[in-house]
Structure 1
């Protein structure tokens, strides 16, 4: 269920309208191309994860494939991305709750949401799974019902609601009203919405049958993306005019209002809140496991290795939560400066993470084939050609951000963060190596004294 709901973020319910407004009906190509890229990356990640299931996931593989500096860099960048996302989703959730309770201050609701979901993560990994199961179930059921309603409108099965036919697709400036460039711009924007698909590889490392879980999730990712994303976007561009102001407001609400569903805004608000809380819940889980994994390799303070009686990395979760609390406070004190800087600086990380996964798989595949070929339960298609094609496509996406006005600040701020993280690795390398060596000696002496 986590793998099913993992691809359905709040961006689909809210952000899809602005993209359709920009690219027109051809926005479905933006989603299709981005989905293809995600499918290929997930295939690569699944290949590595079946051989070596790890809660550190791709940071572990980057370390093995490219060296300690790569694991350190991508681990901290991914951690940074998710702790910022936690704060963003907490603030978004607070704004949604204010729809029903306008007198509640946004900052207090944000902190309360973060605190409550921290408790679920701290209690046990099972409680995280339970909450994510129900969040995902609500999202999946909502999308299925939306597809049924949308399909009924298109095929003229609802009395009193006229089918638009192909008029919204072909008769409002054509299928590509704003040119092919808008389609490729959409890919860069959508990639952020797909971030989280890779969480299943991290979560599988803590299941009783990680190999089976990873194989199932990886093999089904293509159907999930086609059904949930492409299906939803196809409904939206067919039923609603691409240049309608309703798309910018809430495209899903607009479709529900067409069939006179009572309280459509309230229903959609609840669904979006579920998607936001799901992302917040997953963010806490993923960032804490990445921090825990880095602590095991010496890339993060050893204090984050502490686990409670149920095996949950308590200090890692609390450490991620503290950063999120600080981010929420930043948003309260200076929403247009400090917090905006953090949000923009994390913008290019999604593409960078996928690039590192692809490069890691390219290098690790040859190693696996030599050392343990029978462990390759999942294999990347048309290796190495599709891997090279994916690396080139992602690299082009990253470079193109520097030439797009709306994304240029994200590109350069992400670049600054990368330089700082890589620099910190080399600055602290000797200190961390000395610490690890001393700890190994202490451990050896401990066991020697015990006989």
Structure 2
């Protein structure tokens, strides 16, 4: 449920209409390709997480496979990305809620939401899990209800409706009205919508039976997410023309209003707020555990290792919460240009995670097999190593596509800058560490003399 809750967010509820606008009904192909990539990357990550559960997840595996620099870089790039996302999510919540309650200031809504979820994350991992379960369940119920209404609408089972057939799917310029270029552009819009599912492997380290938990979760979660994403978008392009302006404004609302459901717009606003709060809750958890793991490996301030009586890394949680508030302030105060650079840096960092997951799995598989002994690995990536190499090639293709698009190219440049800064910080920290070690060694030698 955590994986569902993290991956099913505003990207589906609001962003799917943008993908339809650029690719037409063929956005289904874009979602299928993006979904296949996510399935493969998650299978690789699950193989490593089932064999070696760790709260640092892919950061730990990158360090073991490629060296300390890789774990440091991946961990802090991911942490920075989620901190920026925290600000965007809570800003979105505040804007919607103040639309309902005009007398309440946005900063008040943001502060109240942050305070509530700080408490949820500080109380204990079990309470966090309960919260996230119910949040995710509400979203899942909303999507299942949408799919039921959409199918009834498509078949003309609702009062005053007729079967739509394939007129919207194949008319208005055909299935792919903007051609292969549109499918490629749609892929760029939707490929990062699945971000968040990787939190499953971060959380697995705190499960009662980590190996069994991560294996079960990753086997079931991916096809469910694909069903929800592809199913929801299929309903949209079946019942409405792909170039209908209301799809861009709010695709779920457009379908529900077509079905004659009163209050559809307000209902979806509530669902979007819950989706954003759920993702905010999960991302506080993910940032705090990543920071805790990095500090435990000597790649972050030692104070981040402090835990409460309930084994919650309370300092790491508070740091994430405070910086989430700072990110909210950035959303309201910074000039658009600077904020755009920061958000762009976060925008395509998921590619960095996916690429390093694939490379880590290539390098670690022989070691994991040797360590597992006769019992074998609890879960294996399919078609090793060829399918892993094919995934890397596909990710390279996504990068090439991004280079052909102005906005995506800016994201890549900003993400490359972020990675360069983090690598630079790592290099400086190593120099300082060596100097400190030499100074300590020299002082010890003089003391002994």
TM-score, normalised to structure 1, is 0.94
**Alignment of 1:415 onto 2:406:** no
1:377 aligns with 378
* Inter-partner Cα distance in structure 2 for 1:67 and 1:42: 22
Q: CA deviation at 1:77?
A: 0.3
Q: CA deviation at 1:429?
A: 0.8
Please, which runs of 5 or more residues in structure 1 have no aligned partner? Answer: 440-451
**Alignment of 1:425 onto 2:426:** yes
Q: How many aligned residue pairs are there?
A: 440
* Inter-partner Cα distance in structure 1 for 2:113 and 2:335: 19
2:445 aligns with none
Whether the 8 Å contact between 1:107 and 1:332 is mirrored in structure 2 is no
Of residues 2-11 and 65-74 in structure 1, the stretch that sits farther from structure 2 once superposed is 2-11
Of residues 221-230 and 49-58 in structure 1, the stretch that sits farther from structure 2 once superposed is 221-230
Please, which runs of 5 or more residues in structure 2 have no aligned partner? Answer: 441-449
Of residues 317-326 and 19-28 in structure 1, the stretch that sits farther from structure 2 once superposed is 317-326
Residues 163 and 54 of structure 1: CA distance in aligned 2, closer, same or farther (over 3 Å): same
Residues 396 and 299 of structure 1: CA distance in aligned 2, closer, same or farther (over 3 Å): same
1:400 aligns with 401
1:388 aligns with 389
Whether the 8 Å contact between 1:132 and 1:282 is mirrored in structure 2 is yes
Q: CA deviation at 1:103?
A: 2.7
1:246-325 to structure 2, matched below 5 A, reads: 246-325=246-325
Q: CA RMSD in A?
A: 1.8
1:107 aligns with 107
Whether the 8 Å contact between 2:4 and 2:225 is mirrored in structure 1 is no
Q: CA deviation at 1:6?
A: 3.4
1:48-67 to structure 2, matched below 5 A, reads: 48-67=48-67
Q: CA deviation at 1:248?
A: 1.2
* Inter-partner Cα distance in structure 2 for 1:162 and 1:406: 41
2:345 aligns with 345
Q: CA deviation at 1:110?
A: 2.1
* Inter-partner Cα distance in structure 1 for 2:172 and 2:348: 33
Q: CA deviation at 1:111?
A: 2.8
Q: CA deviation at 1:335?
A: 4.7
Q: CA deviation at 1:99?
A: 2.4
Q: CA deviation at 1:432?
A: 3.9
1:41-440 to structure 2, matched below 5 A, reads: 41-373=41-373, 374-432=375-433
1:6 aligns with 6
Query: Secondary structure at 1:406's aligned position in 2?
Result: helix
Q: CA deviation at 1:434?
A: 6.9
TM-score, normalised to structure 2, is 0.94
Q: CA deviation at 1:372?
A: 1.9
1:18-57 to structure 2, matched below 5 A, reads: 18-57=18-57
Q: Deviations over 1:202-240 (max 9, x none)?
A: 111101111111011111133213311111111111011
Residues 41 and 246 of structure 1: CA distance in aligned 2, closer, same or farther (over 3 Å): same
* Inter-partner Cα distance in structure 2 for 1:212 and 1:273: 33
Q: CA deviation at 1:411?
A: 1.1
Q: Deviations over 1:53-104 (max 9, x none)?
A: 0110000000000000000000000001100010000001111112211232
Residues 322 and 87 of structure 1: CA distance in aligned 2, closer, same or farther (over 3 Å): same
Whether the 8 Å contact between 1:51 and 1:375 is mirrored in structure 2 is no
1:449 aligns with none
Residues 438 and 188 of structure 1: CA distance in aligned 2, closer, same or farther (over 3 Å): farther
* Inter-partner Cα distance in structure 1 for 2:439 and 2:188: 45
Of residues 165-174 and 187-196 in structure 1, the stretch that sits farther from structure 2 once superposed is 187-196
